[in-house]
Amino acid sequence: MSRAEQTAPTPEQNSPAIDPGYPFAFMDEGAKREIRRALLKAVAIPGYQVPYGSREMPIARGWGTGGLQITLALILPEDVLKVIDQGCDGSVNAVNIKKFVAKVAGVTVTTDTREATLIQTRHRIPEERMTSNQILVLQVPYPEALREVEPSENETRRMHAEADYTRMWLHLYEDIVRYGEITISYRYPVTVAGRYITDPSPIPRWDVPKLHMADTLFLFGAGREKRIYAIPPHTEVIPLEFEDHPFRTEDFTGKRCARCGSDHSFLDEVIDDHSGARRYFCSDTGYCDKRRAGWNR
């Protein structure tokens, strides 16, 4: 049985009950207002990382506290919430976050991308194109795309301020010299609105084109690193590439989902048995379920 298919523990069983004395959406109003201000600034300067006073959440740092704070700062009682982890609605961490938010904000939850008004995600963008009435909140472990080439935060902020991206380009060039192609797999750096090089969060390369000229607002929250940034709708998002070494998404040629037959979605590789045989399944389980239910008849 996979983790994804496990019945997730209910907070009632494995965690203390949430005291009814907590405010709506758990965080105090001052904190929510601060986060909303950071979000407004982030939308006004696409791709720029806005520092903010990240609060402690009852889940551990690195488990989606940045995304969670954005979700809690934005959520309204009438919202419909979807939470996914690596594309999956049933993954334990996603279920945990979803139950927590549903409980403290009293909102309806769904697994249907189209039905949701607010989606919090880790490492995927849903397969179905999202609309202008929806917001996608992405959990971010490393907000700094330049971290690969420069460990110091002081220095990377200077590089961004001066748009000094030489070392990043050089890094890609050296990759090509060494391996014959750019070896960045996920977390593929992009240029947002022609200005900032931005980390799209660890989504696969497959999802990067979905950020370009989208109808949806993408909000990025890095709780541990205390940064918020945004890609507003209808914004140019270009992955870093060279003319002779274009950006390429993951190759699933000849493979299809063993469950719904999809040949056009991002696939998870599953080791089937002790012999090590492989099967493939849609990573976006909500999409897969929908296709199984005869969605595209």
How many residues can be counted in the chain? 297
Pair type for strands 190-192 and 196-198: antiparallel
Residue 274 in contact with other proteins, rule: CB under 8 A: yes
The residues assigned a catalytic role are 47, 257, 260, 282, 288
Residue 102 in contact with other proteins, rule: CB under 8 A: no
Distance CA 135, CA 133 (A): 7
Residue 11 in contact with other proteins, rule: CB under 8 A: yes
For 48, the 3-state DSSP assignment is coil
Which one, 32 or 99, has the nearer CB to other proteins?
A: 99
Distance CA 185, CA 248 (A): 10
Q: Are 189 and 199 in contact (CB under 8 A)?
A: yes
Residue 108 in contact with other proteins, rule: CB under 8 A: no
Question: Which residue among 39, 82, 100, 196 contacts other proteins (CB under 8 A)?
Answer: 100
In one-letter notation, the amino acid at residue 252 is F
Q: CB of 127: closest distance to other proteins in angstroms?
A: 17
Instruction: Compute the chain's Rg from CA coordinates.
Output: 20
Tokens 């045989």 sit on residue: 277
Q: Are 203 and 123 in contact (CB under 8 A)?
A: yes
Tell me, residue by residue from 209 to 248, as one string, x for binding to other proteins by CB under 8 A and - for no binding: ----------------------------------------
Ranges within 22-81 binding other proteins (CB under 8 A) = 58-60
Q: CB of 155: closest distance to other proteins in angstroms?
A: 11
In degrees and rounded to multiples of 5, residue 11 shows phi and psi of -55, -30
Which one, 277 or 296, has the nearer CB to other proteins?
A: 277
In degrees and rounded to multiples of 5, residue 152 shows phi and psi of -85, 130
Q: CB of 204: closest distance to other proteins in angstroms?
A: 14
CA angle 60, 149, 221 (to 5 degrees): 30
Q: CB of 226: closest distance to other proteins in angstroms?
A: 13
Distances (CA, A) of 282 to 140, 204, 296: 22, 13, 16
Residue 251 in contact with other proteins, rule: CB under 8 A: no
Q: CB of 109: closest distance to other proteins in angstroms?
A: 17
For 104, the 3-state DSSP assignment is helix
Distance CA 210, CA 214 (A): 7
Ranges within 146-205 binding other proteins (CB under 8 A) = 147, 151, 178-179, 183, 185
Distance CA 117, CA 133 (A): 7
Residue 93 in contact with other proteins, rule: CB under 8 A: yes
Which one, 46 or 221, has the nearer CB to other proteins?
A: 221
Cα-Cα-Cα-Cα dihedral sign, residues 172, 176, 177, 179: positive
Which one, 128 or 155, has the nearer CB to other proteins?
A: 155
Question: Which residue among 79, 89, 127, 144 contacts other proteins (CB under 8 A)?
Answer: 144
Which one, 1 or 161, has the nearer CB to other proteins?
A: 1
Residue 269 in contact with other proteins, rule: CB under 8 A: yes
Residue 18 in contact with other proteins, rule: CB under 8 A: yes
Binding positions for other proteins, rule: CB under 8 A:
1-4, 6, 8-9, 11, 14-19, 58-60, 86, 88, 92-93, 96, 100, 142, 144, 147, 151, 178-179, 183, 185, 268-274, 276, 281
